[in-house]
Structure 1
Amino acid sequence: MNEDICYLDATDLIELIQRRALSAREVVQAHLDRIARINPELNAIVTVDPEGALAAAAVADDRLAAGEPTGPLHGLPIAFKDTHLTAGMRTTHGSPLFADHVPDEDELLVSRIQQAGAIRIGKTNVPEFAAGSHTFNPVFGATRNPYDRSRSAGGSSGGAAAALAAGLQPLADGSDMGGSLRNPASFCNVVGLRPTPGRVPAYPARNLWDTLGVPGPMARTVRDVALLLSVMAGPDHRCPTSLDTPGAAFRALPAPAGLRGLRIAWTPDLGGRVPVEPDVLAVLEPQLQVFRDLGAVVVEDCPPLDGAEEVFRTLRAQEFDLGLGALLDSHPEQLKPAIAWNIRQGRRLSQADLSAAVESRSRLHVAAAEFFDRYDLLLAPVSQVAPFPVEWEYPLTVAGQPQHSYLDWMRSAYFLTVLGVPALSVPAGFTPGGLPVGLQLAARPRAEAALLRAGAAYEAATGHGRIRPALPSVPSERPIGASR
C-alpha cells in the first residue's frame, strides 16, 4: 500500500486526503519510508526532517477533522530545492561555505507552497550554487539517475527530478536559468516547466529585475505541474516583474483533448545552431506523428536565434558576478572552478558588451513574438544528449563536436531562455539503452495555459511518463531498465 501511495498523482492524493480515505500522516510516513529505503542509492534528498514532517501531518489531519479551511496542497509532502531558503532548515546551496547555514525566513515560493498546505520533509540536492545541469557538489556528492544509477540526473534541479521519478515526493519546486528545470526533467522522465519570467515571482533576490532565471514547478504529470504552478504563481508587490494573473487560474487544467488546427514548428537542432546526439533525435522525431495524429499541422521551422549565445553568456556572467563575486573575493579557493570562471567572465564585461546584449535580446524578443504569430507551439530537444556518466562534469563532445565549457551542451535549453517564452519538458521515450529523453514544447510569452493543455494532450496520447524506473519495491507498472 505504501508503494502505491508514493506513485499516486498529487491530484489523486489530495482527493484521497480530502475524502479522508488517506490521512496526511499515512501519506507522509509512506514517503519517509521510501526515502529511507531508496534515497541512499540516489542521493536525491540531502536533508530530511521526519519528526517535523510527521508533526505537521498530524496538525493537517486535525485541521481537516475539525472542518477548518485547507489549501490546495493540503497534506502533500515536499522537499525543497537546496538553493531555496527554508526557515529553520539548512540551505547549503551545495557549497561548503553554507554547509551549516540555517535561514531565518522562507523564500516566497517556499512560503506559498507551505501556506497551500504542503508539508516540508527536507531539501533536494543541487550543483554548487545551482551552476550547471549536472547535480554534484562537495557537500553531499552526486545525485544518481533513478533509471540508471551510473548516470547523471541532470541539474540544477536534479535532486528534485530524481526524487519525483523515484517516488520520494509527488511534487517539486525548482528554478531555471539555462535549463535547470527542463534538463533534469528530461533526464529523469518527469515534467518540468520554465514559466514566463514574472509568472512565479522570486523573493528575496539580489536582482529583482532579473528575468533570465525563474522559479518553477516539476511533477510526474502535466496536471500536477499545473497544480503546483497555481500555488507558486501570482503577483507580489515586492517583485517588479511579477505578472498580475492569479495563480488559481492554472488550477483546473482541462482534460486532455486533441490539438486540431494547431500550427506547430519543429526544430531538431535549433536551425543548425546546436549538435544533437543521434540517439536523442531517434527518440524525438517519431513524436511528431503523435501531434499530427492529434490534429496539428507540424512543419520544420525555427525562430530567429542569431545572437542568443552572446546574450545568454553575457547576462549570465553579469548575474554570477553580482550574486557570487563577493564570495570569489573572500574565498577564492572554495568555489568550483567553473563558477570562478563564470564570475571572472562577468568582470571582464564592458558597458558596450552589456548594451549589445540588451539590444540583441530586445531584437530576439520581437522576432520570437512574430514567430509565434505564425505558430502556436515550437517543438525542440530539451537536451542535446541522453543522461551521461555521473562521474563526468559535463559531456566533452556532442555528436562529435567538442564542448569547451560546462555551458556548451545546454544550448538547446538556454537559447529559448533568451526569448522569454514558457517552455515545458515532457517525457518522450527512451534510448535503446533505457535512458529517458524529453521533448521541449514552447509557446508565446504568458501562454502557459495553452502550453500545459498541449503537453497534457501529448502526455495522454503516449504514456511515456508512466514508465517507472526499476528500483527496489517499485510497483510493476511497465518497469524498464536496471542499474548498469
Structure 2
Amino acid sequence: MSLSSTAASAIVELEGIALSRAIHRREVSCLEVMQAFLAQIERFNPGANALVSLQPPELVLQQAREADAALARGEGHGWMHGFPQAPKDLTPVAGMVTTRGSPIHRERVTTVDGLSVERMRRAGAIFVGRSNSPEFGLGSHTYNQVFGVTRNAFDPARSAGGSSGGAAVAVALRMLPVADGSDMMGSLRNPAGYNNIFGFRPSFGRVPNWPADDVFFAQFSTWGPMARSVADIAMLLSVQAGWDARVPLSSREPAGVFASPLERGFKGARVGWLGDLGGYLAMEPGVLPLCEAALGHFRELGCTVEAAAPDFPPETLWRAWNTLRSASVASNYAGHYENPAERALLKPEAIWEIEQGLKLSARDVQRASVERSSWYQAVLRLFARFDYLVLPTAQTFPFAAGLDWPRSVGGREMDTYHRWMEVVVPATMAGLPALNVPAGFSADGLPMGLQIIGPAQADRAVLELGHAYDLASGLARRRSPLLDAARGN
C-alpha cells in the first residue's frame, strides 16, 4: 500500500530522535519510513545530486520489511533501526560501490564496512546509496568526474561545500534523517554551515577509522555526524564513537556518554571570539558582521563573550598545515600519480598537492609537526582564559556551483585551492572538537555558520553549548525554500 504524501511529509520532517521513538513505539513502520524517504529522494535528488549509487528500491524496501519483522519479534537493533542512510562515498561499504569521487575507482565494489559504517549497520541503519564527495575528499566543494556537482540546499546555483556536501544537502532536504561525514579541512563543518544544519568534528580519536593502513601517524581526518539538531548529532555520535583495539589511539570514554540529554546552564561560561584572527584571514563582506550578531545568542544564555587572540603566528600555523597535509596526500595517492594512465584521471588540484608532498623531506615534516605541537600549547593557554572558542565556519558565503574554487575572497587573491578555507585549520591542527552551528543568512538568503570549539576531548561540553545555542537562536528552524516550494505544489 502506498503512503499518502501528507503522511510521507510528516515522517521526513521528524528529527532523528523523534523518528527513532516513533519506529520503536510502532507508531510508524520501517516500511513506511523507507517509502517516505525514497519519495523525498525521488523528488529532490535529481536537482540536488546529493546521493549517488542509489540502491534498487525493491532491495531497501525488503530490508525495511525485515526490520519491521525484527521489531515484531522484539529484536530492535538500536537507535537507527529502520533509518535510511547513505554513507559518504569515501568509506567502504560491503557490497556497494566506493568510488571516492574518482574515475579510477568508478567500478570498485568494496567487500568490507568501514568501522563507522559497521556501527551504523549494527544500530539498524539501512543503506540506500552513498553521499557524494569531491575526488578523494580534496577541496571543500562537492564535485567530481564520476557523478558531477552537488548543489546547495538553499540555492541550487551555489556550492554545497564539502567534502561532506552530499550528506549535508541530503539532511537539509530531508532525504536522510541524519548522516555521516568526515572532516580533514572542515569537511563536516563547512557543508553544514553552507546548508544551515549541524556538523560536528569530534576530538582526535573519538571516532576511530578502520580499515586504515596507518593507525599512528594519520591524525587529521576524522569521521563524525551531521543532523538538523544537536541532540541528533549527539545520538549519532553515540553510535559512531568508542574504543576499537585495532585503532590504538582511539578514545576509551564510553560512547554512551553522548546519549543522555544535553540540557545544562551556561551562566558565566567564557566564550572567546577569534573572528578573522586579527585581520589575518580574508573574509567576504558580510560574513563577520553576521557572525558577530550571532554571538548575541551566547550572551542570552549568560555567557561572557570577549575578543580572543592566540599568541602564535597564523602564518606559521598555515605553513605547518600545508606541509603535513601535502605529505599526507602524497603518501596516500602517489601511487595514482606515478601511474600515467591513472594520473591522467586526477584533477589538477590533486596533482598539485601530491607534487607538493613529494618535494618534502623528513626534516620538513618533523619541523611542521613540532610547529603543530607548539600551536596546541598556544591553544591550551587560550583555554586557561576561555571555556570555548568561536569563529566563522567559512570565509565566504556559498559561491557559484560552476567554480572549482574561489580565486579571491574579500579582495585578496587565494594562492592555493584550499586557502579560502583556512578558518577551519586551527581546530584541525589542535585535534579539538568543533561544532558548526547556524549563524544566519546573507541578504541573498545564503547560509553561514559558526564553529564552537572546545578543549581536547571536551566533545560533550561543546555539544551542550551548541544545543543551548540552537534553542536560543532558532536559526536551524529556517527551512530550504525548495522544501516550501515543493509543499506548495
Q: TM-score, structure 2 length as denominator?
A: 0.95
- Residue 142 in 1 paired to residue 149 in 2? yes
Q: Do 1:4 and 1:475's aligned partners in 2 also have CA atoms closer than 8 Å?
A: no
Specify whether residues 305 and 48 from structure 1 end up closer, same or farther in structure 2 by C-alpha distance, changes over 3 A only: farther
Deviations 1:98-138 (A, max 9, x none): 11110011111100011011111110100011000000000
Measured after TM superposition, the shift of residue 420 of structure 1 is 1.2
Q: 1:261 aligns with which of 253, 265, 268?
A: 268
Q: 2:471 aligns with which of 434, 456, 460?
A: 460
SS at match of 1:13: helix
- Residue 316 in 1 paired to residue 330 in 2? no
Measured after TM superposition, the shift of residue 403 of structure 1 is 0.7
Deviations 1:327-380 (A, max 9, x none): 111122110110011011111011221111111111111221221122111010
Measured after TM superposition, the shift of residue 69 of structure 1 is 4.0
Q: Do 1:126 and 1:159's aligned partners in 2 also have CA atoms closer than 8 Å?
A: yes
- Name the CA distance, whole Å, in 1 between partners of 2:483 and 2:192: 22
- Name the CA distance, whole Å, in 2 between partners of 1:253 and 1:122: 31
Specify whether residues 474 and 51 from structure 1 end up closer, same or farther in structure 2 by C-alpha distance, changes over 3 A only: farther
SS at match of 1:239: coil
- Pairwise mapping of residues 170-249 of structure 1 onto structure 2 (< 5 A)? 170-209=177-216, 210-249=218-257
- Residue 6 in 1 paired to residue 47 in 2? no
SS at match of 1:278: coil
- Pairwise mapping of residues 342-421 of structure 1 onto structure 2 (< 5 A)? 342-421=353-432
Q: 2:289 aligns with which of 282, 286, 289?
A: 282
Q: TM-score, structure 1 length as denominator?
A: 0.96
Aligned alpha-carbon RMSD (Å): 1.3
- Name the CA distance, whole Å, in 2 between partners of 1:170 and 1:437: 21
Q: For residue 434 of structure 2, what is the amino acid of its counterpart?
A: A
- Pairwise mapping of residues 16-31 of structure 1 onto structure 2 (< 5 A)? 16-31=22-37
Determine the structure 1 residue equivalent to 2:65.
58
Measured after TM superposition, the shift of residue 474 of structure 1 is 6.1
- Name the CA distance, whole Å, in 2 between partners of 1:273 and 1:420: 22
Deviations 1:286-310 (A, max 9, x none): 1112111210011000334422111
- Name the CA distance, whole Å, in 2 between partners of 1:397 and 1:253: 43
- Name the CA distance, whole Å, in 2 between partners of 1:379 and 1:36: 38
Q: Do 1:305 and 1:415's aligned partners in 2 also have CA atoms closer than 8 Å?
A: no
- Name the CA distance, whole Å, in 2 between partners of 1:7 and 1:383: 27
- Name the CA distance, whole Å, in 1 between partners of 2:53 and 2:477: 27
Q: Do 2:262 and 2:463's aligned partners in 1 also have CA atoms closer than 8 Å?
A: no
Aligned residues: 476
What are the ranges of 5 or more consecutive residues in structure 1 without an aligned counterpart?
480-484
Q: Do 1:441 and 1:451's aligned partners in 2 also have CA atoms closer than 8 Å?
A: yes
- Name the CA distance, whole Å, in 2 between partners of 1:254 and 1:162: 25
Measured after TM superposition, the shift of residue 415 of structure 1 is 2.6
Q: For residue 329 of structure 1, what is the amino acid of its counterpart?
A: E
SS at match of 2:80: coil
- Name the CA distance, whole Å, in 2 between partners of 1:200 and 1:305: 29
Residue identity (%): 43
- Name the CA distance, whole Å, in 1 between partners of 2:257 and 2:62: 32
Measured after TM superposition, the shift of residue 211 of structure 1 is 1.1
Deviations 1:235-255 (A, max 9, x none): 000112101012111111323
Q: Do 1:226 and 1:253's aligned partners in 2 also have CA atoms closer than 8 Å?
A: no
